[in-house]
Amino acid sequence: MTAQLALNAKAWPFEQARLLLKRIEQAGLGDKPVVFETGYGPSGLPHMGTFGEVVRTTMVRQAFIALTEGKYETRMICVSDDMDGMRKIPDNLPNQDMLANYLQMPLTVVPDPFGTHDSYGAHMNARLRAFLDSFGFDYEFESATALYKSGAYDAMLVRALERYEDIMKVMLPTLGAERQATYSPFLPISPKTGRVLYVPMKSIDAKAGTITFDDEDGTETTLSVKGGAVKLQWKPDFGMRWAALGVDFEMFGKDHQTNAPVYSRICRILGAEPPTQFVYELFLDQAGEKISKSKGNGLSVEDWLKYAPQESLTYYNFVKPKTAKRLFFDVIPKAVDEYMQHLAAYPGQTPAQRLENPVWHIHNGNPPADTLPISFALMLNLASAASAHNTDVMWGFIGRYCDGASPETHPMLDQLAGFAVKYFQDFVEPTKSFRAADDRECAAMQDLIERLEALGADCRDGETIQNEVYAAGKAAEYENLRDWFKALYEILLGQSQGPRFGSFVAIYGVTETVALIEKGLAGDLLAAG
């Protein structure tokens, strides 16, 4: 049934899965495993882009399996480009002086500055694998160094020699005049210095499988292209890798989009059909600038997971991958609540609707049955009102609002309460800015006190409370009730917005809210802020 529904599902992983299936059927590739690939540059730590690429590729793989009912064997390969030369030394590495001796050498030759692995490349590969393993991704790891040295690329490298001129015809128009004069798709590794050389070829011999060039000291040198003695420049390498590994699907960021036709042409020159490709938009920082590893702007995976569960991060990566999105701390609460809303909606949906629900893709068709009686945004406001610095304070309110609820019965709620406290301490509390109420606001809030007291201290009905909040605003003749709610949040919580005020009162308590309003009217909160 799922397979039939998947034929028309609009969720983007299913769209990509259908394109992939069409490619496989048209090319007659059904007798081999379907290969999903992601690439990684190991010169820096795994980051948000690494996570996003692997998690999104996983979603397409899951959708493909559902679409085809597991008819095809699938593999996801994560390739580390660890044979690249170390072009510069990252500022955050120890032993800088030692590393300076290894510039332009393959990362798997550079000693590990941390002293824990055989090489810098091996160290970073271990970090990558630990990172991916921490999220439970199903993948196969491949080292570019190992692929080159093992002979896995040999056949394609010889073919690249045979079709050298065709590759040059693709590459040269993409280069400036100066680089055109010295460009070669092959990068020999100097037998004398061990460095990756960007040098012109003096000659090539496709039959012998060799290249000839001048080494750094001017010595004419001939090397076999097999066995890891040479590597390809990154654009030809991209296309060669697709051909050598039989890649069927790969996604990459928008910064690769202009080069994608080059990768595809080279793949075809080498006799293979390029994979189905999916281009995603890049994340932006708070100022709308592209997030960069070197700049350190934006939000890291580790940062996000300090304040919210992994599922919310996966959700944020799922939503609108072709739209540039801000990636900063203030997007976290909304992502958490939207994820929880989709999770709560799932049980009541039809099978077709479920395939469109992000949680199907986040949890591979088997989302948990967790529901939350309180939104994350509400918990943040609760933490703010209570100046909560631990979850015990939070549970004092939550336990009263949700009869019988406890950290033991609602572990996800307890987890979110912890996140809410942490987020409040780090982002809300330092920026709180209370203001005094004007005469109109004072009168309206005094009216609200009387309305709340009339409901009684035990009232926990958020809708009933919300109606009274509305009534107080209307009685004060607010033309736009948003201004009234904004005033409440600014005066009582030191922020300009929040969730439904009635829901907040229901959790915080009528008596406690009345006391909070009285503090706000008396100006006591101004001193606290």
**pLDDT of the residue at 441:** 97
The CATH number assigned to the domain with range 376-528 reads 1.10.10
Whether residue 294 has pLDDT greater than 60: no
Q: Where are the domains of the chain?
A: 2-178+233-283, 289-362, 376-528
DSSP string, 227-239: TTSEEE-HHHHHH
- What percent of the chain is predicted at pLDDT more than 70? 98
**pLDDT of the residue at 131:** 95
Can you name the CATH fold of 2-178+233-283? Answer: Rossmann fold (3.40.50)
Whether residue 528 has pLDDT greater than 90: no
Q: Report how far residue 452's alpha carbon sits from residue 513's, in angstroms, rounded to the nearest whole number.
A: 9
Whether residue 44 has pLDDT greater than 90: no
**pLDDT of the residue at 219:** 97
Residue 146 or 497, more confident: 146
The structure tokens listed for 118 are 């055989």
Residue type present at position 245: L
The CB-side HSE value for 511 (13 A sphere, CA atoms) comes to 5
Whether residue 178 has pLDDT greater than 90: yes
Q: Mean pLDDT across the chain, nearest whole number?
A: 94
Instruction: Name the nearest CA neighbour of 186 among 239, 225, 141.
Output: 225
pLDDT digits (tens, 9 = 90+) for 250-270: 999 999 999 999 999 999 999
β-pair type (140-143, 74-80): parallel
pLDDT band at 1 (very low <50, low <70, confident <90, very high): confident
pLDDT band at 108 (very low <50, low <70, confident <90, very high): very high
Q: Over 210-225, what HEC string results?
A: EEEEECCCCCEEEEEC
Whether residue 271 has pLDDT greater than 90: yes
Could you tell me the pTM of the whole model? 0.94
Exposed / middle / buried, residue 305 (Cβ in 10 Å: 0-12, 13-18, 19+): middle
Rounded mean pLDDT of 43-65? 93
Per-residue buried b or exposed e for 46-58, using 16+ beta carbons within 10 Å of the residue's own CB: bbbbbbbbbbbbb
**pLDDT of the residue at 292:** 65
